[in-house]
Amino acid sequence: MNPFSVFFLCGLTFLYSMGASADSTVDRSRFHLFNPTPKEAMRGLNTDRPDKTESAYSVDAGHFQIETDLLVLSRNSESGATTENLGIMVSNLKLGLTDSIDFQAVITPYTSSSVGTDRASGFGDTTLRLKVNLFGNNGGDLAFALMPFIILPTNSGGMGHKFYEGGLIAPLSVGLPGDWDMGTMFQYNRMKNDSDDNFHDEYVTSITFSHDIVGDLAGYVEFWNSISSEADAKWTATADFGLTYRITPVIQLDAGVNIGVTDSADDLNPFLGFSALY
Amino acid sequence: MGPFEEHLRDAIRINRERRTLYSSLTGGKSLSVSNILILSEQLSIPFAIFTDLCSIPFRNQGIRIVELEFISMDRIPPFSEKLPFPAPSLNAFVESRPGELILKLLKQGWRNGWSGLADALRIELHHLETNPGFHLMLKHILESMLRIAVLAPTHQRKCLEARMRLTTKPLSGYLFLSHLLAIPFATWLDRKTAPILASGVPILYQDVPAIPESEPGYI
């Protein structure tokens, strides 16, 4: 038996068994942007943040979700120079197009960067993404999605270059025994070189484990790393920790810190954010 | 201590011992590679503990999942200052494309299951032989994946024979997936190591054990 088909079959079997009970009266394929999923049939809030591993679940058709870094800071000391970055209201705006596809726009209204006494600030780049859930959206222990994305060079104030970049993300969510959840992700980026106008490949992989702590409070631990094909690129890896708190079933607060475990990663990257589904 | 954790801790100890030896041979050029290798092993320890815990119910029933997948570090060759063959030319180093390789393996797994994966891995390992002396970490990862793919059906069969309610399928899948996610790192480390290998210093070459495809007494 195929190992991957085992994953797929587990998800599908559970999906169909769920279909026999909860969803037997709901034909989810008829929901789309202009025929929104009714409240009683919604999956509820499921976020890509606060960890860096993307979720495999899409936003309900015809509904809107916002996921925001109210404040995100980072500090990196490398080769004698210290870089500090600040982002405010970095937001992922999501819109459910169909029951299994959502559209996402990640915007950075304000970002600043300082290296020693040099400082720059302005609008950041904008990332447009499409999340296509392939299975597991509506139940089961496994869910998988593909997320193509493009980065538009909308930055101002010297906060970046003027080249288009893009890539593909493949997130897998797994329900583990003991109510643990695992997420893992493979991401391919086609990015512009720092030193010239050519492009290079980047490969990002991550794995995260999360669990409820008490009541509506949950926590996660994550390992994230990135490898670049650019000449002299270093290995970037972080160990990430955070908490989420559900204020209501559709509003969530989160806070956490990403800690660099290699020289080229930010030493410390604390953040505070929230998510809401309408 | 579980088998995966033990494998990693042995690897960390050996790589620490050899770090200074390689450094003196390369005038310090190998230090960053050794440090990254050790760091990556240290970071893998929490996942090793998790994997070992998951394997306990099976190992208690004599199903040697995880135990057989990770080869003892006792099998690595003794330290030597030179490669046992002429140093490869750095001009001959061909960079791997990890994205393509991952997609290829996923496609094979989806279409043809464990046996298809094993065949695809054998082909990839054969391709690496055309660039001898390089891609040692990628070779190590692919050999390990091949062993996982070969052992997985046997573990499953033994579960059925033992009339266990649990199955090793998800754990074999997890082991395979975690190796798959390590492919980009392996290719990157190989790129960093290539100039050192081209100078004739056998870093990695003698620091990872050769992994046999199967375990004759088990299958």
Position with higher pLDDT, A3 vs B217: B217
- Chain A interface, best mutation among B29, B56, B177, B193, by max A CB count within 10 A: B177
- Name the H helices within B60-182: 98-128, 136-161, 169-181
Q: Which pLDDT belongs to residue B99?
A: 87
Q: Which pLDDT belongs to residue A18?
A: 36
User: Above 80 in pLDDT, residue B90?
Assistant: yes
B150 to chain A: nearest residue by CA? Answer: A3
User: Above 50 in pLDDT, residue A14?
Assistant: no
- Expressed as residue numbers, the domain containing B118 is 3-77+94-198
Q: Is residue B126 situated within a structural domain? A: yes
From the list B39, B99, B110, the residue facing A261 with the nearest CB is B39
Cβ–Cβ below 8 Å for B188 and A5? no
From the list A223, A227, A239, the residue facing B184 with the nearest CB is A227
Closest Cα in chain B, distance from residue A180 (Å): 12
Q: How many CB atoms lie within 10 A of CB A177?
A: 9
| Three-state secondary-structure class, residue A184 | strand
Q: Which pLDDT belongs to residue A2?
A: 39
Residue (of A15, A13, A53, A19) closest to A210 by Cα position: A53
A178 to chain B: nearest residue by CA? Answer: B54
Q: What is the mean pLDDT of residues A58-76?
A: 95
Name which of A14-28, A201-215, B57-71 the model is least confident about.
A14-28
Closest Cα in chain B, distance from residue A158 (Å): 31
Confidence band for A13, pLDDT divided at 50, 70 and 90: very low
From the list B47, B109, B187, the residue facing A3 with the nearest CB is B109
From the list B102, B113, B181, the residue facing A3 with the nearest CB is B113
Cβ–Cβ below 8 Å for A6 and B182? no
Confidence band for A71, pLDDT divided at 50, 70 and 90: very high
| ipTM over cut 0.90 | no
Residue spans of the domains in chain A: they are 3-277
B154 touches chain A (CB under 8 A): no
Q: Which pLDDT belongs to residue A25?
A: 64
Cα separation, B164 vs B129, in Å, equals 41
**Rg of chain A taking only CA atoms, in angstroms:** 19
Secondary element (H or E) of residue B135: none
User: Above 90 in pLDDT, residue A222?
Assistant: yes
Residue (of B105, B88, B89) closest to B97 by Cα position: B105
Name the one residue in this structure whose structure tokens are 């994946």. Answer: B145
Q: Is residue B191 situated within a structural domain? A: yes
Cα separation, B67 vs B71, in Å, equals 8
Name the one residue in this structure whose structure tokens are 């450094």. Answer: B23
**pLDDT tens digit string along A30-60?**
999 999 999 999 998 999 999 999 999 999 9
| pTM given for the model | 0.82
Cβ–Cβ below 8 Å for A4 and B109? yes
**pLDDT tens digit string along B91-149?**
989 888 898 899 899 888 888 999 999 999 999 999 998 877 899 999 999 999 999 99
Confidence band for B42, pLDDT divided at 50, 70 and 90: very high
Cβ–Cβ below 8 Å for B181 and A237? no
Cα separation, A175 vs A181, in Å, equals 5
Confidence band for A11, pLDDT divided at 50, 70 and 90: very low
Q: Which pLDDT belongs to residue B109?
A: 86
Cα separation, A76 vs A70, in Å, equals 20
Residue (of B141, B144, B153, B143) closest to B115 by Cα position: B153
Which residues share a beta bridge with A170? A186
| Three-state secondary-structure class, residue A233 | coil
What tokens were used for B176? 């395979």
**pLDDT tens digit string along B19-34?**
999 999 999 999 999 9
Number of domains in chain B: 1
CA A126, A128, A133, A134 dihedral sign is: negative
B97 chain-A contacts, CB cut-off 8 A: 201
User: Above 70 in pLDDT, residue A188?
Assistant: yes
Percentage of the residues of chain A whose pLDDT score is greater than 90 = 74
What tokens were used for A228? 């670049």
Q: Is residue B88 situated within a structural domain? A: no
| A45: DSSP letter | -
The CB-side HSE value for B123 (13 A sphere, CA atoms) comes to 10
Q: Is residue B194 situated within a structural domain? A: yes
Number of H helices and E strands in chain B, helices first, is 6, 0
In this structure, which amino acid lies at residue B54? C
Cβ atoms of A187 and A205 closer than 8 Å: yes
B191 to chain A: nearest residue by CA? Answer: A229
* CATH number 2.40.160.40 is the correct assignment for the domain at A3-277: yes
Q: Is residue B211 situated within a structural domain? A: no
A223 chain-B contacts, CB cut-off 8 A: 43, 46-47
Residue (of A37, A208, A67, A209) closest to A129 by Cα position: A67
